[in-house]
A and B are shown apart, each in its own frame.
Chain A
Amino acid sequence: MIFALIGNQNCGKTTLFNLLTGSNQHVGNFPGVTVEQKSGAVRGMDDCLVVDLPGIYSLRPYSSEEVVTRDFLLNSKPDAIINIIDATNIERSLYLSLQLMEMHIPMVLVLNMMDEVIGNGGSIDIKLLSQKLGIPVAPISAANNTGIDQMLETVIDTAQKRIYPSVTDFCEPGPVHRCIHAVALQVEDHAAREGMPARFAATKVIENDTDIVKRLALNQNELELIEHSAAEMEQECGMDRNAAMADMRYNFIEQACRDTVIRVGESKEFQRSLRIDRVLTGRYTALPIFLGVMLLIFWLTFGLIGGTLADWLAVGIDMLTAFIDRGLTNYGINPVVHSMIIDGICTGVGSVLSFLPLIVVLFFFLSILEDTGYMARVAFFMDKPMRKIGLSGRSIAPMIIGFGCSVPAIMASRTLSSRRDRIVTILLIPYMSCSAKIPVYAIFAAAFCPDYAAIVMMILYVSGILLGIIAALLLKKLGAKEVTVPFIMELPNYRMPSSKSVLLLMWSKAKDFLERAFTVIFVATLIIWFLQTFDLHLNVAIAGDSILARIGRWLVPLFTPLGFGDWRIVTSLIAGFTAKEALVSTMGVLLGTGMADLPAALSSLFTPLSAASMLVFTLLYTPCVATIAVIRQELGTRRAAIGVVIMQCGVAWVMAWLVYHIGGLL
């Protein structure tokens, strides 16, 4: 049996999904769109599959999330719908439920957060509500894990006995009622052919869901008749059709709730949220606290926790590598194969794994921010400045994470509600200078202006941000015609996150990254190893004669105008493609100096001006291969990812050129 789990955002849907399925979850994408689809078998019941559909408020075809849900229900015909709602916010939540009930699929209404309702002295008459809505109702508390077994029993029972919603008529006799029934009769046979319930088809046609209208294949005559009915309804109601339909649904809900729901004033959770918000979104406190929180997360992720974990992991990998190294040497294996295993495979695996602690730790904090409801507040008070560059407040978090590492930053952009915002955010993230570039800045600062290292760093970061803003403004200009998604967002009450949800999210992000990025990063590292090891005749190269060095030499003319046309620097830049850290180490190898003497060697190779040009180029040129792998995954096409690489390199070249030449005039 297949169950579709549907609900609003912030209603505890994910918590329930995790309770039902445990860790046997499968994460994928819906075909053709980058909307995440999670599914998993119910624990202890391998024949019951739960599909977690995106959090939505309505079935209108405006966002890909809504279309995906509608099409899943129409095409896959699940055995039952589990519609979870926030019982403390029942009126607004039932709006989606009424639309689901029209789909003629066995359905159970799950009232989550019943503990909060009761804790505040309120109550909901489950039996009467179930009678009024014509579907079974199950009260639960996902956070406290109560009522789940009974709920599951009800769901299975409803699905097995195929108990369809018994109330499908939500309107009182009147113009809306007449219109829906007239249209339902007109589209009945068309809908039947498409396997669509007539009432659902009728409301969608009245609401002008073009996709459904097309599917029903109505002829001109029928369309005119329907238009006539709708126009008549509009006139009689004194409202247009969309308002009339919404009004009809909310009227029904108000009536159903009047006799069944007792609510006592403002809840404790609501009042607590108000108190917290006085500080967290307060006029003078909002921004400083937000910056403080982000700095703390950064310090913990890249310093204290993630950094330590990454160091341990590096030690582990080094030990393993040394072990393999010894084994291979003792075995007397061919030196080239030896190098391939040690310098190619082990380095490749190591570089993939080195990202893992950062991703896991960062997503630990992010999911806490998201689940508590703080992220929504950040979006709330950061919306105004972000809108100036054509984005919404929701984009701020991924961008800031970009200062740490672009990989989790791009992965985090998935929470953005519109595809356009997601694309623009992903394009801008590479402008936020990631932490792997710090060694490059540090070594140049040490070589040229050791006393002003901090200022050099500041200038680089700020230039990155400024260029990002310019790029965003350009994108805004170019994409002006595109429909912007209105920023209308619920601010949920602050809640304690469930540790289980946080842990499962970390696990799924880590798995996601390993599964999808592994091959790309691994293959890229092997290719670079190959190019570094062999010369053009596929003999083992002496340093400076490898294919990579040849390519570096060949590309030198391209970099001469930027002031650093030295093949060793160019080759290092290419090596930096695998990971920015590799840039410095490759320079060390090619210049034949150790790390300690590198600054001295650099100061003989660069003038201060060409060094500045080089730093600007490093700041802006192609992101590392891991970033490109996730960009490809999130944007969905290889072409888009290659486009990003070319665009970044182009911008880097132009900016470095400007720095070198304008700086030369001064």
Chain B
Amino acid sequence: MTLNQLTAGESAIVTKVGGEDMLRCRLLDMGVIPKTHIYVRKVAPMGDPMEINLRGYTLTLRLEDAKRIEVRREEPTA
């Protein structure tokens, strides 16, 4: 599945970062690389973009770009 399919409050691990040139490099530079844990904090009031937490900080990206990030959903550890 891809990052944009997650809803607020869900966690996932990045498995693959797609996208072209600039988008991809920017994601990689910001620490979105395979094996990174991501927590989806919220989606903006108008439904796009989304707000995620990773590596101890907060990042925002558009759903369209989040579509290029493949993730594996982590079940919440109760």
Q: Is the CB of B27 within 8 A of A89?
A: no
Taking residues whose C-beta sits less than 8 angstroms from the other chain, chain A's interface range is 35 or more
| Complex contacts, A380 vs chain B, CB 8 Å | 44, 49, 51, 60
| A239 contact set on B, CB distance < 8 A | 34
A281 and B44 in contact, given A58-B29, A60-B25 (Cβ under 8 angstroms): yes
Chain A positions 294-335 with a Cβ under 8 Å from a chain B Cβ: none
Name the distance in Å between A236's Cβ and chain B's nearest Cβ. 15
The answer to whether B49 touches A383 (Cβ under 8 A) is yes
Interface residues of B in 1-41 (CB under 8 A from A): 17, 21-31, 33-34, 41
Chain A residues with CB below 8 A from B74, complex form: none
C-alpha gap A243/B69 in the complex (Å) = 13
B55 contacts which of A57, A92, A273, A387 (Cβ < 8 Å)? A92
Are B28 and A62 in touch, CB under 8 angstroms? no
Q: Are B62 and A242 in contact (CB under 8 A)?
A: no
A613 at the interface (CB under 8 A from B): no
A355 at the interface (CB under 8 A from B): no
State whether B31 touches A91 (Cβ < 8 A): yes
In the complex, residue of chain A having the shortest beta-carbon distance to the beta carbon of B65:
A486
Looking at A62, A246, A273, the one whose CB has the most chain B CB atoms below 10 A away is: A246
Check A487 against B61 for contact (C-beta < 8 Å). Answer: yes
Would B31 and A95 count as touching, CB distance under 8 A? Answer: yes
Complex CA–CA separation, A575 to B28 (angstroms): 54
- Tell me, yes or no, whether A478 is within 8 Å of chain B by CB: no
On chain A, the residues within 8 Å of B62 by CB distance are 383, 387, 486-487
Give chain A interface residues in 477-494, CB to chain B under 8 Å. Answer: 483, 485-493
The residue from A91, A95, A242, A491 contacting B24, defined by CB atoms under 8 A apart: A242
**A385 within 8 Å of B (CB atoms):** yes
Is A195 close to B, CB under 8 A? no
List of A residues within 8 angstroms of B61 by Cβ: 486-489
Find out whether the CB atom of B26 lies under 8 angstroms from the CB atom of A62.
yes
Mask, A236-271, CB within 8 Å of B = 1, is 000100110011001000000000000100000000
Among B33, B45, B59, which residue has its beta carbon within 8 angstroms of that of A381?
Answer: B45
The answer for the CA separation of A376 and B62 in the assembled complex, in Å, is 14
CB contacts (< 8 Å) of B17 on chain A: these are: 243
A85-127 contacts to B, CB under 8 A, are 88-89, 91-92, 95
Q: Report B-chain residues with C-beta under 8 Å of the C-beta of A246.
A: 28-29, 33
Q: Which of the residues A60, A281, A286, A384 comes within 8 Å of B47, measured between beta carbons? A: A384
Q: How far is the CA of A95 from the CA of B33 in the complex (A)?
A: 12
Would A243 and B49 count as touching, CB distance under 8 A?
A: no
List chain A residues, Cβ under 8 A from B34. 239, 243, 247
Interface pair A250/B25, CB less than 8 Å apart: no
The distance in angstroms between the C-alpha atoms of A493 and B34, with both chains bound, is 25
Interface residue ranges, B against A (CB under 8 Å): 17, 21-31, 33-34, 41-42, 44-49, 51, 55-62, 65
Interface residue ranges, A against B (CB under 8 Å): 57-58, 60, 62, 88-89, 91-92, 95, 239, 242-243, 246-247, 250, 263, 273-274, 277, 281-284, 286-287, 376, 380-381, 383-385, 387, 483, 485-493
Q: List 15 A-B contacts (CB under 8 A).
A: A62-B22, A89-B57, A274-B41, A283-B45, A286-B44, A376-B60, A381-B45, A383-B62, A384-B44, A384-B46, A487-B49, A489-B59, A489-B60, A489-B61, A492-B58
